[in-house]
Amino acid sequence: MKLVVEKEGELLDYLLNHLDMPKKRIKQYLTHGSIYVDNNKTTKYNEKVVPGMKIVITTEKVNTNQLPFDILFEDSHIVVVNKPSGLLTIATEKEKEKTLYHMIREYIVGKNKKGRVFIVHRLDKDTSGIVIFAKDEKTKNQLQEHWNEYVTLREYVAVVHGRMPKEKERIVQKLKETKTNLVYVSKDKEAKEAITNYEVLKETEKYSLLKITIETGRKNQIRVALSSMKHPIVGDKKYSDLKETENRLYLHANRLKIYYPEIKKELLFETPTPNEFKKIMK
């Protein structure tokens, strides 16, 4: 099935308005990587489409035993994947179906009807990158209980607005969260310490490409740290005062080193810098 875009908008809305097809089925095609925009596979509901773009939908039966993103590692105890931006790790009250957990569970059960999946850690919906799932409760508990001890590297790459004041810096802050889930810097005694390190990899007149490592795992800590320095992450509509026009958050978890007790060795998982990051830095 092919469509040529005639009016600017978001992909899911456009398909709903131009296809005689239930919303649930269109979402399934998106979720399982059956939709291409200008020959690029997409799973994003809010993918921007403009006049002239070609949308191709492969409408054969959805194969739930395939994933529309990379599996970095898999054995009988864990599966490690490269999560796309715009996809929740786990369900919330607002969105229960299209989550990374839901997709991984379908994939595992598709291979083994008795298969189980457990979340070990998570990334923000808008952040892409490395996420680990366990296939049994023992492994999940072991990794979660010893997470800070087992994980020796958590590295991200980000594109921020402007040029950073220093080539590298260690940012130590205390963070709290509002009732509306907004994280902010606070001097309150109940605030929790967050430590974020950055190093400038490349600069242009408008943007800086950063390597970021974190010593703590506070919610939104990288986004808050950079926003508080007046250099918000490109595409961050939650913590930036600037008018953001990009369709994604330019934050990606690209390296994770963890001790894996099953083989009694450290494993280093790596992903390449997303193409969008490279394009914006040209």
Per-chain mean pLDDT for the chain: 91
Percent of the chain at pLDDT > 90 equals: 67
Would the CATH topology of 2-57 be identical to that of 71-145? Answer: no
Q: Is the pLDDT of residue 94 over 70?
A: no
Residue 184 is predicted with a pLDDT of 96
Q: Which residues contact 212 (CB under 8 A, 6 or more apart)?
A: 155, 156, 157, 158, 196, 197, 198, 199, 222
The CATH number of 153-253 is: 3.30.2350.10
pLDDT tier, 131 (very low <50, low <70, confident <90, very high otherwise) = very high
CA distance 75 to 78: 6
Residue 67 is predicted with a pLDDT of 82
pLDDT tens digits, one per residue of 98-107: 789 988 998 9
Mean pLDDT (whole number) for 5-30: 87
Residue 195 is predicted with a pLDDT of 97
Q: Is the pLDDT of residue 36 over 80?
A: yes
Contact in structure between 82 and 130 (CB atoms under 8 Å) = yes
Q: Which residues contact 67 (CB under 8 A, 6 or more apart)?
A: 33, 81, 103, 104, 107
Q: Is the pLDDT of residue 65 over 70?
A: no
Mean pLDDT (whole number) for 43-47: 87
The CATH number of 2-57 is: 3.10.290.10
Contact in structure between 140 and 132 (CB atoms under 8 Å) = no
Q: Is the pLDDT of residue 95 over 70?
A: no
CA distance 103 to 172: 36
CATH class of 71-145: alpha beta
Residue 60 is predicted with a pLDDT of 56
CA distance 209 to 161: 9
Q: Residue 139's CB: how many other CB atoms inside 10 A?
A: 20
Domain ranges of the chain: 2-57, 71-145, 153-253
**CA-to-CA separations, 165 to 79, 184, 227, in angstroms, rounded:** 39, 21, 13
pLDDT tier, 45 (very low <50, low <70, confident <90, very high otherwise) = confident
pLDDT tens digits, one per residue of 165-196: 999 999 999 999 999 889 999 999 999 999 99
pLDDT tens digits, one per residue of 146-167: 999 999 999 999 999 999 999 9
Contact in structure between 52 and 6 (CB atoms under 8 Å) = no
Name residue 140's amino acid. K
**CA-to-CA separations, 158 to 108, 127, 168, 172, 231, in angstroms, rounded:** 31, 10, 14, 18, 11
When computed from its CA atoms, the radius of gyration of the chain, rounded to whole angstroms, is 20
Q: Is the pLDDT of residue 82 over 90?
A: yes
Mean pLDDT (whole number) for 233-259: 94
pLDDT tier, 19 (very low <50, low <70, confident <90, very high otherwise) = confident
Residue 34 is predicted with a pLDDT of 82
Q: Smallest Cα–Cα separation from 76: which of 152, 11, 133?
A: 133
Residue 44 is predicted with a pLDDT of 86
Contact in structure between 137 and 156 (CB atoms under 8 Å) = no
